[in-house]
Homo-oligomer: A and B are copies of this chain.
Amino acid sequence: MDLDLTVDAVTLTEQLVNIESVSRGEQAIADAVEAALAAYPHLTVSRHGHTVVARTDLGRGERVVIAGHLDTVPVNDNLPARRQESAEGVLLHGLGTCDMKGGDAVILRLAATLPEPNRDVTFILYDAEEIEEQFNGLRLLAQRHPELMVADFAILMEPSNAVVEAGCQGTLRVDVRTTGERAHSARSWRGRNAIHGAAEVLRRLNEYDARRPVIDGLEYREGLNAVFIRGGVAGNVLPDECVVEVNFRFAPDRSEAEAEAYVRDFFDGFEVTLTDLAPGALPGLDVPAAKAFVEAVGGQVNPKFGWTDVARFTGLGVPAVNFGPGDPMLAHKQEEHVPVEHIERCEAQLRAWLTDGLTS
């Protein structure tokens, strides 16, 4: 399928949405993106698996990365794209409209139409963001071609209601395990019920009081939640094990080690096994490139609660923010949609920022 980068970003979003690209099935969309970008001689295009990188090389004093992922969560009877009038203006409905082909369309439009931006730009469109970390295209690019990730600043076009969301919270998962002794449930006094033992784990979770630290002027909000619970052997047996899987979302002023220590202390007395850990990212808004960007797009900044690849850039020493069309609350929902006004505004603001100071 051919992509036409001369159409408006909303139409381009529709085209991208209609190329199905569930994680691990990004070949077609990556081929289309690569072919479309390769037509522009001001870009140096390279392909890495199903990740496409397009760079300007104008020798500017500053380089920024603008990145988006091409994959979506599984289809849920929500293709192809369709437009709908609403009280908030025209909405574009369909899988990936919000997360995040609206942002991808903006990236492609900027790449195609700005042969001489005021800053050098590395555009990255990558695969496998929605699945296990091991497949993540940005992760693999950073591993194999770290030189392509080098920048003074990075913008990830994850949905953020077309407002800058800075930093992101970290995420950690633990299994909290209670143990007991099996016994026939007809003679329960001979055993010790591990599920009953989990009452205290849940009691503590109910009493948890979320910390809301203010960092660089942004209020974060932590969260500690059981996401799974399981236990049981048979319908007539006292269970000897119960596992509560707990997810801790922590503000970026805690390190990974501090977050782990907090959770271990919180569940003191129980067996706690760490199963997953990804650091948060500090907003980093004191960096000049970030400051300038925030000012250019209107000055409003919100904290990012969810974990995004912003943390990957921060880990590489590149300050980064989320800035993209669409409401993150709609991501992964069947009724996912994006206001076309978001797409248009993001494009216009990024265009203004990348051309400011140039004589046209």
For the complex formed by this chain, how many copies does it contain in all? Answer: 2
A229 touches B231 (CB 8 A): yes
How many angstroms between the C-alpha atoms of A305 and B203 in the bound complex? 32
Q: A196-B206, A202-B202 are in contact. Are A185 and B227 (CB under 8 A)?
A: yes
Does A236 make an interface contact (CB < 8 A)? yes
9-residue interface stretch from A7-15, A30-38, A186-194, A283-291: A186-194
B225 touches A238 (CB 8 A): yes
Q: A227-B235, A228-B231, A235-B173 are in contact. Are A221 and B307 (CB under 8 A)?
A: no
Chain A binding surface SS class: mixed
1/0 per residue, CB under 8 A from B, across A157-181: the answer is 0000000000001010100000000
How many angstroms between the C-alpha atoms of A189 and B122 in the bound complex? 37
B223 touches A186 (CB 8 A): yes
Nearest CB in chain B to that of A202: its residue: B199
A198 touches B188 (CB 8 A): no
Does A301 make an interface contact (CB < 8 A)? no
A235 touches B198 (CB 8 A): no
A188 touches B245 (CB 8 A): no
Interface size, chain A (Cβ < 8 Å): 47
A206 touches B199 (CB 8 A): yes
A232 touches B223 (CB 8 A): no
Chain B residues closer than 8 Å to A232, beta-carbon distance: 226-230, 245
B306 touches A187 (CB 8 A): yes
Does A24 make an interface contact (CB < 8 A)? no
B249 touches A188 (CB 8 A): yes
How many angstroms between the C-alpha atoms of A231 and B184 in the bound complex? 24
B236 touches A186 (CB 8 A): no
Report A229 CB to chain B, min CB distance, Å.
Answer: 5
Q: A186-B223, A230-B230, A249-B188 are in contact. Are A205 and B198 (CB under 8 A)?
A: no
Chain B residues closer than 8 Å to A230, beta-carbon distance: 229-230, 232
Report A206 CB to chain B, min CB distance, Å.
Answer: 5
A194-234 interface with B by 8 A CB criterion = 195-196, 198-199, 202-203, 205-206, 210, 221, 223, 225-234
Which residue numbers of A lie inside 8 Å of B, CB to CB?
169, 171, 173, 184-190, 193, 195-196, 198-199, 202-203, 205-206, 210, 221, 223, 225-239, 242, 244-245, 247, 249, 276, 305-307, 329
